[in-house]
Structure 1
Amino acid sequence: AHPHHDAFIGLHDGEPAFLMERYDPAEVELKGLYEAEPGDIGMHFLVAPADTPLHGFTLGVITAVMRTLFADPSVHRVVVEPDVRNSAVHALNKAVGFEVLGEIAKPEKNALLSACTREQFAAATGGPA
């Protein structure tokens, strides 16, 4: 019900498999922590534990999440703020085109503020956003 935050459930083979959160970083999560640009959208994703892990599944999830976000023509850049210690997410972010902007201090963590434009995503994934 938050006016600047939405959550979506992603399915795999018809079963819930991941959560995608989309938020306005100028209003929540990053408000006052970075210089928001027009067309920025914030994103989180969470992958459910798997009984049988699928190689490349999480990369597929973040790629699908990014394509979904860029399907909105008003989105020009996706921003994220993972914990500085989360090296697995940093690698996934880099694989889909995110560029590190710098470290920021949030109340709950030190975060690595990163951003990805449509062009960076297309270049990293070999296809259109």
Structure 2
Amino acid sequence: MITFRPLDLDCDAEVAMLHRWVTHPKSAFWLMQGCDVAEVREEYRRIERHPHHEAFLGLVDGTPAFLAERYDPRYVELVGLYEPEDGDVGMHFLCAPTDTPVHGFTRAVIIAVLAWIFSDPDALRVVVEPDVRNTAVQALNAAVGFRVVGPIAKPEKQALLSVCTWHDFQAATSALLRLGATS
């Protein structure tokens, strides 16, 4: 079972775990490779204090397995870079790096994150801005219903703005379930 809870930034072990995740070579697109534990804690304190940005630990059967962030793109990440619509919710997710990947895990996580965001009736569209070089996540995004809007220049990267409505998500994941592609 996949559940979500706010990060506990007062728990040193949890912050150390988060540091390992975001600085791992497999997390290069997270852009935190050079950060120490204190810098990671401060970045997530900044998110915790922000009224329009939230970070959550994703648990699988009670075990930490991924990080999820949601934000209001009118105030965070995409300010001035696109025309937001009512009901837009920005999203980031990061699966814990592992040497023993489980087939279909990342897809299951993004589906769970999107279902969690869309469980809020005010969330009408999810907006993401992956690095243009991150073709793996772009393919994953497309598989779960994201449509590419186009490239945007962010201060830290060239990104590919993409959006997913609840209907697009439902259509894509229904097709995946029929094909048995989420296992």
The bucket for the TM-score relative to the shorter chain is over 0.9
In 2, the alpha carbon distance for the partners of 1:97 and 1:105 equals 23
In 1, the alpha carbon distance for the partners of 2:63 and 2:119 equals 23
For CA contacts below 8 A with separation 6 or more, give which structure has more relative contact order.
1
Match of 1:52 among 100, 105, 113: 100
Aligned residue for 1:81? 129
* Structure 1 residue 118 displacement after superposition: 0.5
In structure 1, the gaps of 5 or more residues are none
* Structure 1 residue 51 displacement after superposition: 4.0
Aligned residue for 2:117? 69
Q: Percent identity?
A: 69
Amino acid at match of 1:95: A
The reply to whether residue 110 of structure 1 matches residue 158 of structure 2 is: yes
Aligned residue for 1:8? 56
In 2, the alpha carbon distance for the partners of 1:71 and 1:14 equals 21
In structure 2, the gaps of 5 or more residues are 1-48, 176-183
Using structure 2 for the length normalisation, give the TM-score.
0.68
* Structure 1 residue 53 displacement after superposition: 1.1
Q: Which has the higher strand share?
A: 1
* Structure 1 residue 50 displacement after superposition: 2.0
Which stretch of structure 1 is more off in the superposition, 44-53 or 54-63? 44-53
* Structure 1 residue 52 displacement after superposition: 2.2
In 1, the alpha carbon distance for the partners of 2:60 and 2:134 equals 24
Aligned residue for 1:20? 68
In 2, the alpha carbon distance for the partners of 1:35 and 1:3 equals 20
Deviation digits for residues 47-95 of structure 1 (CA, Å, limit 9, x no counterpart): 1012421100000000000000000000000000000000000011001
SS of the residue corresponding to residue 17 of structure 1 reads strand
In 1, the alpha carbon distance for the partners of 2:97 and 2:164 equals 26
Which stretch of structure 1 is more off in the superposition, 56-65 or 5-14? 5-14
Using structure 1 for the length normalisation, give the TM-score.
0.96
Deviation digits for residues 3-38 of structure 1 (CA, Å, limit 9, x no counterpart): 000001001232111000000001010011000000
